């Protein structure tokens, strides 16, 4: 189930990147905003970053449970 959640974050990020290009992006001179492929890839990368788990959060959960491994 986590794999599908991660994929959905990537797809949502890619869609948001393309929407940013389509509605906000500039036509000339801006390297990220003027190319739909690069903008979509940046959005997908941000979606992947948001989908990755945080190690600090896992450590805090272990400390709360009393595990000192």
Q: What is the mean pLDDT of residues 40-67?
A: 77
**pLDDT score for 24:** 86
**pLDDT score for 60:** 56
Contact 51, 5 (CB under 8 A): yes
Return the domain boundaries, the chain. 2-65
Backbone Cα Rg of the chain: 17
- Tokens 């600090």 -> residue: 56
**pLDDT score for 66:** 63
Q: What average pLDDT does the chain have?
A: 82
Q: What is the mean pLDDT of residues 53-67?
A: 63
For residues 69 and 61, give the distance between their C-alpha atoms in angstroms, rounded to a whole number.
Answer: 12
- pLDDT tens, 10-34? 999 999 999 998 988 887 778 777 8
CB atoms within 10 A of CB 38: 15
């Amino acid at each position: 189930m986590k794999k599908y959640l991660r994929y959905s974050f990537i797809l949502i990020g890619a869609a948001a990147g393309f929407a940013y290009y389509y509605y906000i992006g500039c036509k000339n001179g801006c390297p990220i905003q003027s190319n739909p492929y690069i903008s979509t890839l940046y959005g997908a990368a941000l979606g992947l970053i948001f989908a990755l788990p945080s190690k600090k959060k896992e450590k805090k959960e272990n400390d709360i449970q009393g595990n000192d491994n």
